[in-house]
Structure 1
């Protein structure tokens, strides 16, 4: 491409909603923590390596019998409350601003459990009902590096 020589109508992505391709053999429930795998497809939050949190699923989708990318799911980055782990993996006020890790599609933990969990997002705040996690894929990748 060459440099502009006139005005350009540059498209803008409005709002936080995104749509992504779902991994093979995956069922995602609305409200679930959503993660991207190493090949770029979306899966539900889970204890596994090679994933990165991207946001909250906005809808139920069933690709249990499908191949990678057969269906799409709408999701939203942002700050959402999920369940807190217990005991040594419980997230507290001391963990604000730190990366938290996915246990399943609705639970986060303080640690990677000896490198068996992937980063879900960054702890925004904690209350008596759970952990508020900031889902921003780029921020989480940078914070976890």
Structure 2
């Protein structure tokens, strides 16, 4: 492309919401951490190579083939459960945390078995606020 020679219309998207094709035979519950694996959305889980999209805006059920349905996700900072066996503490604020399942995060990668969930924003006695997506 060449540089602009005249004004152009500005096209903007907030980038807070997205929609992604779901893996077949999958249910993603409202509020669950949503990840992609092989370009298909599914609930968060312990695995490497996953990309966190955000949380599910509503429960989505794909009882058909891969990509037969989409799930709507939202980026932001949300509270998740803190894995007691690998607990995140106040000193971890600002660091990455790692996926355990669709509602739980941990301090470490579990010896390279977990994907990054997002950035730790705050730690409370009943959970961890994590910026995801």
TM-score normalised by length of structure 2:
0.90
Taking the aligned partners of 2:2 and 2:39, their CA distance within structure 1 comes to 30
Per the alignment, residue 116 of structure 2 pairs with: 119
* 1:125, distance to aligned residue in structure 2 (A): 0.6
2:91 partner SS: helix
Contact 1:54 1:120 in 2 (8 A): no
Indicate the SS of the match to 1:55: strand
Map of 1:106 onto structure 2: 103
Q: Say if 1:64 and 1:91 are closer, same or farther in 2 by CA, change over 3 A.
A: farther
1:92 and 1:70 mapped to 2: Cα distance? 40
Q: Deviations over 1:66-89 (max 9, x none)?
A: 21x2211111111000001013x0
- Structure with bigger strand share is 2
Query: 1:72 pairs with 70, 73, 92, which one?
Result: 70
Please state how far the C-alpha of 1:23 moved relative to its aligned partner.
Answer: 2.3
CA distance in 1, matches of 2:117, 2:63: 23
Unpaired segments ≥5 residues, structure 2 = none
Unpaired runs of 5+ residues, structure 1, are 137-145
Aligned to 2:79: 81
User: Is residue 13 of structure 2 the alignment partner of residue 16 of structure 1?
Assistant: no
Aligned-pair RMSD on alpha carbons?
1.6
CA contact (8 A) 1:120 1:135 kept: yes
Matched residues, number: 133
| Partner residue, 1:97 | 94
**Separation in 1 of the partners of 2:52 and 2:15?**
19
- Give the C-alpha shift of residue 122 in structure 1: 0.9
1:48 aligns with 2:77: no
Stretches of 4+ moved more than 6 A in 1? none
